[in-house]
C-alpha cells in the first residue's frame, strides 16, 4: 500500500501537478473530466502534446498565438476546446506548473 501512495501524483491547491514527472496520459483524462473538458478529442491532444514539448524545450508555456500557429487551430478553436482558459485548461492538462501570479 505504501508504494502505491508514493506513486500518486501531487497536486497544488488549485489542481496543477507539482512536478512534470507526475504526468501520465491516463491521468489527463481524469483531470479533464474534473474540469469539464471531456471527452478529449484528437485536437485536444494535439494542443496538449505541443504545449508539453514546448515547455520541455523552453522551460515556459507557450502563448495561445504560438499554440495556434503550431497546431493549425485558430485561437478561437483553442478557446472552445479549453473554455476554462489556456493556463487552467491546457497548461494544467499538459502537466505544466502553475505560472507565477496565476491564482
Whether residue 28 contacts residue 40, with contact meaning beta carbons closer than 8 Å, is answered with: yes
Mean pLDDT of 87-103: 85
Answer whether residue 58 is part of any domain.
yes
Please tell me the predicted confidence (pLDDT) of residue 2.
46
pLDDT exceeds 50 at position 1: no
Task: Render pLDDT for 8-40 as a digit per residue (tens, 0 to 9).
Answer: 678 888 888 888 888 889 889 999 998 899 899
Answer whether residue 6 is part of any domain.
no
Task: Render pLDDT for 60-83 as a digit per residue (tens, 0 to 9).
Answer: 999 999 999 999 999 999 999 999
Marked catalytic residue, from 20, 21, 60, 102: 102
Tell me whether residue 102 is one of the annotated catalytic residues. Answer: yes
Calculate the CA dihedral of residues 62, 65, 67, 71 and round it to 10 degrees: -160
Structural domain range at position 32: 14-94
Please tell me the predicted confidence (pLDDT) of residue 16.
86
CATH of the domain at 54: 1.10.10.370
Tell which wins on pLDDT, 43 or 9: 43
Please tell me the predicted confidence (pLDDT) of residue 95.
93
What 3-state class would DSSP assign to 61? coil
Please tell me what DSSP assigns to residue 98: P
Answer whether residue 39 is part of any domain.
yes
| CA 70 to centroid of chain Cα atoms | 16
Count of domains for the chain: 1
Amino acid at each position: 500500500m505504501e508504494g502505491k501512495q508514493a506513486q500518486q501524483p501531487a497536486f497544488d491547491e488549485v489542481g496543477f501537478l507539482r512536478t512534470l514527472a507526475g504526468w501520465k496520459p491516463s491521468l489527463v483524462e481524469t483531470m479533464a473530466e474534473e474540469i469539464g473538458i471531456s471527452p478529449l478529442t484528437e485536437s485536444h491532444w494535439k494542443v496538449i502534446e505541443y504545449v508539453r514539448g514546448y515547455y520541455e524545450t523552453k522551460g515556459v508555456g507557450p502563448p495561445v498565438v504560438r499554440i495556434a500557429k503550431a497546431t493549425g487551430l485558430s485561437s478561437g478553436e483553442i478557446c472552445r476546446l479549453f473554455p476554462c482558459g489556456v493556463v487552467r485548461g491546457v497548461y494544467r492538462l499538459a502537466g505544466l506548473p502553475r505560472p507565477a501570479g496565476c491564482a
